[in-house]
Amino acid sequence: MENEGKPYFKQMNNRKACLTSSNRGVTHASSRAARAHSIRVEYAPDMATALVIIDIQNDYFPGGAHPLVGPVAAAERARELLEAFRAAGQPIVHVQHVWDAPDAPFMRPGTAGVEIHPLVAPRGDEPVITKDDPNAFVSTGLDAQLEQFDADALVVCGMMSSMCVDSTVRSAVEHGYTVTVAHDACAAPDLEFGGEVIPGATVHAAFMAGLADGYAEVVPAAQAIAAL
């Protein structure tokens, strides 16, 4: 069978003919719409790769309300990505989760825990998209902001691997973006299932494996930087 063994989305892409160089003038909206229907196109040369940093906030660090496994190391890799994108003049979007509910256990508005961690703090006019859903595209201006940047591809990092990173990456693909995930710039918590504690490193690896199976290129931060 054609493309047997390849991830589902890659099979779908490979079954469509690539458009020729005569389509280089295709608009941002139409090119993304085409990829959303599994057609490969050649994009206008002025389109950008945007860095999307998801929820690297104080509550996920030691002393916070919901500490993850290995958040400092992940944030340090995210900082390297952030500095590289700044140096390259490529667009950057920060995403911040705000859980505005009376019984919210973390990311509560007005607390130190909800603030973006200093390692990846926004600078200047870098936009910050606030959200209250795991999917950063839901009821936010993220897609509109990326369109303003003429971003066709995304590099994604952040927290948690098992929740907001996973949800946002899958949604980004469905919106027509090409996505790269910097796996060592993401972190996850220990989780419990069936009476067993699943270590955060295992949780993280499982979700990265799922995303790598057709949704995104999942690479170390250094490799994503080298591709800029």
Read off the pTM.
Answer: 0.82
Could you give the CA distance from residue 34 to residue 12 in angstroms, rounded to a whole number?
12
Question: For the chain, first and last CA: distance in Å?
Answer: 36
The tokens describing 134, both together, are 């795991």
Centre a 10 Å sphere on the Cβ of residue 17 and count the other Cβ atoms it contains.
7
Average pLDDT for the chain:
85
Ordered by start, the domain boundaries in the chain are 1-45, 47-226
Range with lowest mean pLDDT among 14-28, 71-85, 105-119, 199-213 = 14-28
pLDDT tens digits, 99-134: 999 899 999 999 999 999 999 999 999 999 999 999
DSSP 97-109: E---STT-SSS-T
Contact 122, 116 (CB under 8 A): yes
How many H helices and E strands in the chain? 7, 8
**Which listed residue (18, 157, 164, 186) is catalytic?**
164
pLDDT tens digits, 13-53: 332 222 222 232 334 444 444 444 332 323 345 568 999 99
DSSP state of 199: P
| Domain 47-226 indexed as CATH 1.10.1040.10 | no
Helix (H) or strand (E) holding 5: none
Active site residue 164: yes
